[in-house]
């Protein structure tokens, strides 16, 4: 049985920081690395640089007791956990693929400090074959060490892929309780990674090879994307037939083997709107349904804008309260947010005055301020608007006084009211 006393976490973002903090909370010394000086400073001051329930107190505690520290440079450790972004890059056709530059940079930063017996784990969501590529990049820089692609079970360095699967908004709880898929480049790699995760993970841990683990993560998010696309397509069909799609879904879901997800303004975030493209990119001829689902979900913001425009043209002076900007309820994350895209498109259409309400941010992003928009508080927006466009089902919007909206045109993209 291996024990790990010192772990290096590369990338202290939405996944890396909570993971580092949870390990540190179990008494493991964590040396975190991030390329952003402001992030490093903020963490060393005990403050997370983004909002996530229960993260503030945890980070403060483990920084104060010396178990978590951050730096710009990768320090020697027994194990290295890579949690860097794998964003979209534009592919050769209209499809997208993964930009692996940050994984490569992490591999190049780890390589100089590697010693025999180290374990390197890739947590970032990655296309099939990325773990092997990462191993190749490190091997190229360290000819004095052996790697699993050449020496198998005898290698000096062990390498595994263990995709993160946590849901933003519930990260701390899910890091501990979710089941994990642990894919080793060899059996020994997987067993060593398993012993590392056992320090914190209480959920089931399934051991497999690295390629299956990579595909497993992509499959989970593509599954959700395809199912949301089904709901979003239904919402467009129901609009044509003047049927309330949420009532329809409630009826259909009474069937014991039907469980339709919720339509919305589109699919956002850094995961579900991105990862299915990695499957398409790796098998463009075969991934027909997965590509189509991405296209259906990506088309939904445009559909919402058309509906708003139809409403606005009946009013002499339309003023629209746009409620919510984040990609989903009760988070401050605006990445790939359909709500943000809708507000941006509406601003460009110049069909109405827009009042933007987002209780989870203190300032609007440049894409909106550049268009002359300002953050408005909820009460003022309700006082001035004659159209209310609900884009995000934040708890703060769920229990509003119905009298506030009774004389306004309401467009509820979430079926929340
Ligand atoms: N959405 C709908 N209808 C639904 C459910 C979601 O329109 O019925 C929308 C949301 O509003 C949001 C988007 O989909 O815009 C994605 O939200 P989400 O809550 O489904 O998922 P994420 O992106 O926050 O987190 C996902 C999770 N994956 C799965 O549930 C399969 C999480 O477990 C992963 O760790 C995460 O992606 C990731 O990092 O990959």
Contact 331, 169 (CB under 8 A): yes
Strand-pairing partners, residue 29, are 6
**Active-site choice (67, 205, 217, 305):** 217
Strand-pairing partners, residue 119, are 79, 158
User: Does 184 lie in the same domain as 55?
Assistant: yes
Closest ligand 1 atom to Cα of 125: 40
User: Does 121 lie in the same domain as 25?
Assistant: yes
Could you list the residue range(s) of the whole structural domain that residue 354 is in? 223-412
User: Does 348 lie in the same domain as 260?
Assistant: yes
> What is the predicted pLDDT for the residue at 93?
65
Closest ligand 1 atom to Cα of 270: 23
Among 170, 203, 236, where does a domain finish?
A: 203
For the segment 109-138, what is each residue's pLDDT rounded down to a tens digit?
999 999 999 999 999 999 999 999 999 999
Does the CA dihedral 15-280-135-180 come out positive or negative? positive
pTM: 0.93
User: Does 391 lie in the same domain as 336?
Assistant: yes
Q: Alpha-carbon distance 221 to 271, whole Å? A: 7
Ligand 1 center to 317 CA (angstroms): 37
Q: Alpha-carbon distance 116 to 353, whole Å? A: 63
Q: Is 305 a catalytic residue?
A: no
User: Does 286 lie in the same domain as 324?
Assistant: yes
Strand-pairing partners, residue 355, are 321
**Active-site choice (271, 300, 322, 328):** 271
CATH of the domain at 294: 3.40.50.720
Ligand 1 center to 227 CA (angstroms): 11
User: Does 196 lie in the same domain as 66?
Assistant: yes
Which of 328, 330, 333, 412 to mutate for ligand 1's pocket (most ligand atoms within 8 Å of CB)? 328
Ligand 1 center to 171 CA (angstroms): 13
User: Does 247 lie in the same domain as 99?
Assistant: no
Ligand 1 center to 221 CA (angstroms): 8
Residue 366 lies in a domain: yes
Residues with CB under 6 A from ligand 1: 125, 164-168, 220-221, 224, 228, 261-262, 264, 267-269, 271-272, 327-328
Ligand 1 center to 395 CA (angstroms): 17
User: In this structure, how many other beta carbons lie within 10 angstroms of the beta carbon of residue 238?
Assistant: 17
User: Does 182 lie in the same domain as 246?
Assistant: no
- Phi then psi for residue 367, to 5 deg, are -60, -25
Q: Is 271 a catalytic residue?
A: yes
Among 173, 203, 233, where does a domain finish?
A: 203
> What is the predicted pLDDT for the residue at 3?
83
Closest ligand 1 atom to Cα of 223: 31
Burial 13-37 (b: 16+ CB within 10 A, else e): bbbbbbbbbbbbbeebbbbbbbbee
User: Does 237 lie in the same domain as 303?
Assistant: yes
- What stretches in the chain show pLDDT beneath 50? 1
> What is the predicted pLDDT for the residue at 347?
98
> What is the predicted pLDDT for the residue at 92?
60
Helix, coil or strand: residue 355: strand
Largest CA distance in the chain: 76
User: Does 239 lie in the same domain as 186?
Assistant: no
> What is the predicted pLDDT for the residue at 2?
60
Number of structural domains (the chain) is: 2
Which of 272, 298, 360 to mutate for ligand 1's pocket (most ligand atoms within 8 Å of CB)? 272
Closest ligand 1 atom to Cα of 328: 11
> What is the predicted pLDDT for the residue at 91?
64
Residue 258 lies in a domain: yes
User: Does 50 lie in the same domain as 171?
Assistant: yes
């Amino acid at each position: 049985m291996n024990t790990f006393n010192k772990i290096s976490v590369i990338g202290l973002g939405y996944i890396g920081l909570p993971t580092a903090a949870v390990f540190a909370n179990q008494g493991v010394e964590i040396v975190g690395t991030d390329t952003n000086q402001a992030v490093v400073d903020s963490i060393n001051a005990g403050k997370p640089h983004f909002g996530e329930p229960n993260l503030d107190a945890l980070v403060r505690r483990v920084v104060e007791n010396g178990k978590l520290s951050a730096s710009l440079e990768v320090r020697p450790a027994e194990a290295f956990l890579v949690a860097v972004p794998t964003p979209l890059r534009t592919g050769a056709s209209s499809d997208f693929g993964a930009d692996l530059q940050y994984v490569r940079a992490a591999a190049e930063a780890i390589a100089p400090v590697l010693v025999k017996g180290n374990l390197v784990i890739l947590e970032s969501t990655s296309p099939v074959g990325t773990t092997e590529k990462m191993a190749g990049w490190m091997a190229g820089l360290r000819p004095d060490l052996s790697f699993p692609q050449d020496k198998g079970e005898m290698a000096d360095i062990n390498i595994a892929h263990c995709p993160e699967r946590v849901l933003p908004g519930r990260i701390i709880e899910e890091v501990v309780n979710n089941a994990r898929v642990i894919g080793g480049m060899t059996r020994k790699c997987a067993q060593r990674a398993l012993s590392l995760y056992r320090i914190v993970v209480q959920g089931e841990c399934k051991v497999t090879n690295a390629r299956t683990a990579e595909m497993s993560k992509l499959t989970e998010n593509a599954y959700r994307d395809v199912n949301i696309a089904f709901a979003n397509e239904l919402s467009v069909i129901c609009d044509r037939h003047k049927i309330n799609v949420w009532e329809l879904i409630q009826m259909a879901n009474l069937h014991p083997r039907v469980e339709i997800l919720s339509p919305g303004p589109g699919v956002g975030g850094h995961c579900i709107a991105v990862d299915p493209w990695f499957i398409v990119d790796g098998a463009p001829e075969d991934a027909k349904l997965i590509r189509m689902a991405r296209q259906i979900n990506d088309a939904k913001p445009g559909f919402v804008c058309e509906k708003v425009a139809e409403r606005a043209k009946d009013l002499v002076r339309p003023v629209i309260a746009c409620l919510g900007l984040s990609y989903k309820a009760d988070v401050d994350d605006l990445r790939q947010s359909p709500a943000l895209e809708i507000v941006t498109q509406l601003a460009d259409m110049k069909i109405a005055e827009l009042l933007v309400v987002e209780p989870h941010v203190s300032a609007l992003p440049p894409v909106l301020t550049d268009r002359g928009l300002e953050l408005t508080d909820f009460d003022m927006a309700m006082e001035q608007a004659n159209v209310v466009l609900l884009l995000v089902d934040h708890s703060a919007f769920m229990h509003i006084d119905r009298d506030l909206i009774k004389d306004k045109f309401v467009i509820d993209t979430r079926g929340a009211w």
